[in-house]
Amino acid sequence: MKKRIISLLLILGLSLFLPACANMHMTGGVGLNFSGGPYGMRVTPSVNVGMYGGGYRW
């Protein structure tokens, strides 16, 4: 687990310095999902992380 966190931070750090990844965008979102069922309402948390590799936008 510790190696994965370190490697993720290393990749994110390198992406700030490499010209090929200059257009990379990171997005994140946190929210709650509400769902109903036979036992009443249920609330579950949701966490989203997305990366867009960039490229030329015309």
Domain boundaries, the chain: 23-58
User: Residue 58: what pLDDT?
Assistant: 46
What residues pair up with 42 in beta bridges, in sequence order?
35
50: Cβ–Cβ under 8 A, 6 or more apart, which residues? 26, 27, 28
Output the pTM of the full model: 0.37
**Sequence letter at residue 56:** Y
**Sequence letter at residue 11:** I
SS (H, E, C) 8-54: HHHHHHHHCCCHHHCCCEEEEEEEEEEEEECCEEEEEEEEEEEEECC
Of the ranges 19-23, 31-35, 46-50, 52-56, the best mean pLDDT one: 31-35
